[in-house]
Structure 1
């Protein structure tokens, strides 16, 4: 039995232009581009089978989108709205939940849970959880912070940030600090390796085998690190580390060291040594502002990538393992790029202070 004769696909100039654009544009959804090519090929007079073979799809697909185009023209190539359950929580109720989360507490508790909020609003726990996720609310989470009381806070911020953003010529800027009390610890049972669907596992308890301190100087330009372990953490060790830096850096370069206000950095012995070595320039961060020292960011890398999941049965083993990790780091160092200006930092802190004052009223 012969196939019924198909209605021809006739395109206006505007339709042909739109379809051609849809079929070629990179940002067009691939499904819409394919449908556009089917209709354009049909308009050239090909049969359903010829078009299917040419485009690389099934005959049923060609027939479907050919018919849809003839019935609804360009609008027929878009997907129909999918049926779904209508919303049961109105915008007003969502707003009430958000306002209650931000401005109220649940009585005896310090913060809302999905259960207590569900009881208070008459919603389900899953609905409360979905709304909180949509608005990025985490009532259970809290972050700590501390304001510096350093009377020279503003000047020190501008000094340190200025070094980061515009290092002096013919000089090396080093962020220096000590990671003290690094513990050589061993788990009471072997660490179980990662397996499909199961993370690595280690015992909660451990055995201590002593501590060591890591003195580190982070080059903000290259990301390389000068580091040395010392068993104690006094001005004598700090002086030895300064001498190590002095020997490691070419003599023609000035040295600008960013440091915290720890007492071992300011002893008379240290000051006397610095006077005899005028290429060293010390820049102190404000009190309670360790976040200004870029070496702290490198210490975080060391902790996350090496120390947190390691086990060592002696201080010697810990020091050797950390030294090996540092050597590998220095083969391909990664500098941390400071982006905030001093004014941006001070404006942010001023906004925090204003929020604190407002919260007291």
Structure 2
């Protein structure tokens, strides 16, 4: 019988454990990443591939795959491998830069950003700015007043919400409810006509 090779232990730094714990707690978006994080956290507690697979509820090959990728590449190893085709050229940092400028700054003398002025300020194309605004539901050109968010986690929260729409959990129905605080039910603008004797009520 061929002996089973000894597994390299999974040892986490405090920072890695904190990041993995945050990813593992996600319940609405990035479920694949959450599962991979739980696998690595369980591997760090020790035990065989089979024990980890049974505890997490996945197959042994799945545990082996993500355990090996984490040992080799740490946190970056848990992300999806690049798909064939044109590589992504706009990073998350640049997307965040556009969102922060849109919400927290104004373009000089103008009252709001346009795709042209934002493209000039960030060095991106107007089409790229338009796609980012559309993905995050930002319309600085279509409102008369603009409220800036002071929440330091605004970008992360918006990413979670947008991710929920783009990649909802399996068999889930995503609904949106928008509170219209400035709208109220009012009476009809025209009086109700009296019912004719021959018309059923």
| Normalised-by-shorter TM-score class | 0.3 to 0.5
TM-score (norm: length of structure 2):
0.46
Whose radius of gyration is greater, 1 or 2? 1
Higher strand share: 1
